[in-house]
Structure 1
């Protein structure tokens, strides 16, 4: 028998088609933004749209053999959710993905995430001062309820990042190959490459991780190299049970380990940004040493594998086993130009065809096409394509001209070549949550507020950082990289250190934004709002750390003893 109508909960679409904030992407950035919305703005009225069927972003997409991080595990994690239980100094994909799943579970984010939900278009409504995002359901059963809908929000956040859309090489005949082709970011684990003839096109960080794993079981592996990379040792090793216990039960040691790693990585900035720095020379010397010690009997490869561009112009490869893989009898390095792909293999120099069973495309991502293929229309219906017709730019890397109440993570000029990107993401999240706070408060007062960066301020910011970037190793004309466009303009990398970036985002200057709507008085003429950031550096001396650790242990001991006395009575 049905319950009386007075006891029924209301049913409707208000919470399904309306939200205060919509976040596109459930990777590292999207989860961080959501957690800060809860912690800093006390709001749970947000939706995360995720095209895949799991959280994790790039750590869910990239599941190729050997996939791991090239930043220390203690540093490649949220400052507010440090993990004392990493199994290795450099974690693998599975462990990082499990960490992110655990974070999503701990903070109750799953109830906010809509999986298999693809954003194709989003438009700003000038009259309502809201974003209207078109969502397509890609899940078979979900699509039976309705294959698309429009989700309205006061604020829109892009957390799709730079490493999400695979870049396929423009090689004639790519579709003609009758064997197996797979991109590294779309790995097909149902295919067994044991005993197969395998080709890897590309020799960057991804190829350097895949090659050692494939070479162990393939009958033959050929790596196609266009230009060599600077390679330095990873020196990876397991984290001992003793160290895990110390990090877990004495938190100051965990914090100290992370701070020391932060300091080292920040110091590494000069190695990848200044070709004449002492640290850059260390990279050159380290790479030369590795070549001679790991390929001692193949001096003909030393010059082939030594770059003729500055360290940092392309991503520095951190690995212990790439060069030893090239020394294997079943592995070849091919440096001749690929002229085409046939039904059975790869053709080089238009005359030599090599046959394969599997071709792996380790060719990276479409990094300079931020937000592609999502169609975005801002104020007055202006498209993002028009806004960025001369190149992608964003104020502080997070807000975009003529896109009101919009923020993006890992946007133009926020990538790093020396440190953990999560440090940048946390700074961006706190900055964006400061903007969101004013929009929320305006709505609570029954008003509407839109914020977009002043074009002149954005232009000044971009001119300043581009002037710096032109002096860095990233701009070396002797190499091409995913950091820059074909014309040499660097659209992806930040010019300085993480601390420099945190300082840049340490406050919101409200005069940097055009405020519109009935709630604009909240910010017009308002003094700058300070944005907090985590001090990750070693701010304490070792003596202070020891005193702090002793204090923590003493307090813990006191509480344990007190608990025992209480139970005794």
Structure 2
């Protein structure tokens, strides 16, 4: 056995897993990272305007607050710097193997070991496998006819080309999700003309994003309780939004008030009533990830910005042709089309030759507590289906890694070499999910028109666990360890 634990991915989830293992006294682990640096999403994304869309005090490890955030919503480079800081402070870097792309993982039943294959031909063995690949790392490229025919410059927001200058160019952005919401106001200042192709409008809430002055940062540093209080405040505010999503039926009046606040914001920001109408969502708040901005909507008041809602027919050599027959010539095409959030980038084969993605394709996405799947011993997903909680990635990391560590610790205590979730426990959790989903916005908010990444190809919404953050975190500390079968 090469390592007791193999972690795939060195973003915040992988870094958090490594820190938790070290705190538990488990030093024999490796983090396999396909890129040449750590940081995941915050390494790959560097487009203009990049910032976190959750208040910075909440978007961080609870055990490692950062008193020096420059703003309430920190910019991308600050988040990447925080990842580097955490990896260095907690001794994670010596465990990281960069430029190590995983091409497959197979559980050897006669050894109770995972065999993890790498692109360079090497194979590593480990007792436990933690998939911490993240959701916002593999770009989704739209299947639009003629995309490869375009002779201008094409770039995906997750692979930003800093050597290409947009000044004075005719630019098109396809997509109006959370990324485009940050990008569009920034590039609109420099381009000659900007066409924004919208399939579905996004709910936009006003953004309270003050700079955090140095005296306040110093107060956070000298009196940590003040920063903990700020984190409690921002986390509570975020939790209110989450409650409206997962308990939509019970809290529908509250959700409607949020929607009305967004619509007032839209009316205040956009002058043209026709454009305002096109920017008005027709689905419930929470069907797709909402966002916060004071700049996005008013960008459409600019003379050099046009909102395009006519469906795209094809990409031509020189531009975009819409289904009304019009062709819009451009110099640069920007794909703000998101990520393949449900994809695992390599095949994972468990007992009896069961491959995880094929299992989900045939049986729909499912897991126990968002962490484990029957027939896949010693495998933990961070997160799996119905495992993400809240809006802050760190809340999910905390809960899912605690779950994995409890099982690993119990397996070691028993002198066992295999832990596999019992089918009955798995089915019980999925029955609970099924009972809770009718309360969520996903079944009450006219979400069919949202084109949301929360939904998969089956029409299910396995991205979000249908519970509050508080309930999910409590469950990660109290789920019955007997829900797993331990064997040697």
**TM-score (norm: length of structure 2):** 0.95
Superposed counterparts of 1:406-555, under 5 Å? 406-416=379-389, 418-441=390-413, 448-475=416-443, 476-517=447-488
Superposed counterparts of 1:66-465, under 5 Å? 66-136=49-119, 147-273=120-246, 274=248, 277-296=252-271, 298-349=272-323, 351-369=325-343, 371=344, 373-388=345-360, 389-416=362-389, 418-441=390-413, 448-465=416-433
The answer (yes or no) to whether the contact 2:310–2:324 under 8 Å persists in 1 is no
Name whichever of 490-499 and 381-390 sits farther off: 381-390
Q: Deviations over 1:220-257 (max 9, x none)?
A: 11110112111111121110111111111011111111
The answer (yes or no) to whether the contact 2:387–2:400 under 8 Å persists in 1 is no
- Taking the aligned partners of 2:331 and 2:115, their CA distance within structure 1 comes to 47
Aligned to 1:25: 9
Aligned residues: 482
- Taking the aligned partners of 1:509 and 1:124, their CA distance within structure 2 comes to 25
Query: Post-superposition shift, 1:448?
Result: 4.6
- Taking the aligned partners of 2:98 and 2:125, their CA distance within structure 1 comes to 18
The answer (yes or no) to whether the contact 2:13–2:382 under 8 Å persists in 1 is yes
The answer (yes or no) to whether the contact 1:162–1:411 under 8 Å persists in 2 is no
- Taking the aligned partners of 1:480 and 1:468, their CA distance within structure 2 comes to 22
Tell me the C-alpha RMSD between the 2 structures.
1.6
- Taking the aligned partners of 2:242 and 2:365, their CA distance within structure 1 comes to 24
Which structure has the greater CA radius of gyration? 1
The answer (yes or no) to whether the contact 1:314–1:474 under 8 Å persists in 2 is no
SS class of match (2:63)? helix
- Taking the aligned partners of 1:474 and 1:189, their CA distance within structure 2 comes to 38
- Taking the aligned partners of 2:388 and 2:476, their CA distance within structure 1 comes to 15
Query: Post-superposition shift, 1:486?
Result: 3.6
SS class of match (1:493)? coil
Query: Post-superposition shift, 1:440?
Result: 3.8
- Taking the aligned partners of 1:260 and 1:216, their CA distance within structure 2 comes to 34
SS class of match (1:59)? helix
Q: Deviations over 1:509-543 (max 9, x none)?
A: 233112222xxxxxxxxxxxxxxxxxxxxxxxxxx
Query: Post-superposition shift, 1:393?
Result: 1.3
SS class of match (1:221)? strand
- Taking the aligned partners of 2:420 and 2:136, their CA distance within structure 1 comes to 26
- Taking the aligned partners of 1:353 and 1:186, their CA distance within structure 2 comes to 26
Name whichever of 253-262 and 458-467 sits farther off: 458-467
- Taking the aligned partners of 2:388 and 2:180, their CA distance within structure 1 comes to 20
- Taking the aligned partners of 2:363 and 2:331, their CA distance within structure 1 comes to 42
The answer (yes or no) to whether the contact 1:262–1:419 under 8 Å persists in 2 is no
- Taking the aligned partners of 2:451 and 2:396, their CA distance within structure 1 comes to 24
Mark the runs of 5 or more structure 2 residues left unpaired by the alignment. none
Mark the runs of 5 or more structure 1 residues left unpaired by the alignment. 1-16, 137-146, 518-569
SS class of match (2:107)? strand
Give the direction of change, closer, same or farther, for the CA distance of 1:27–1:408 in structure 2 (3 Å limit).
same
Aligned to 1:563: none
Q: Which one scores higher on RCO, CA 8 angstroms, separation ≥ 6?
A: 2
- Taking the aligned partners of 2:156 and 2:317, their CA distance within structure 1 comes to 18
Aligned to 1:39: 23
The answer (yes or no) to whether the contact 2:57–2:230 under 8 Å persists in 1 is yes
Q: Deviations over 1:276-310 (max 9, x none)?
A: 623312222222212222123x1112221111111
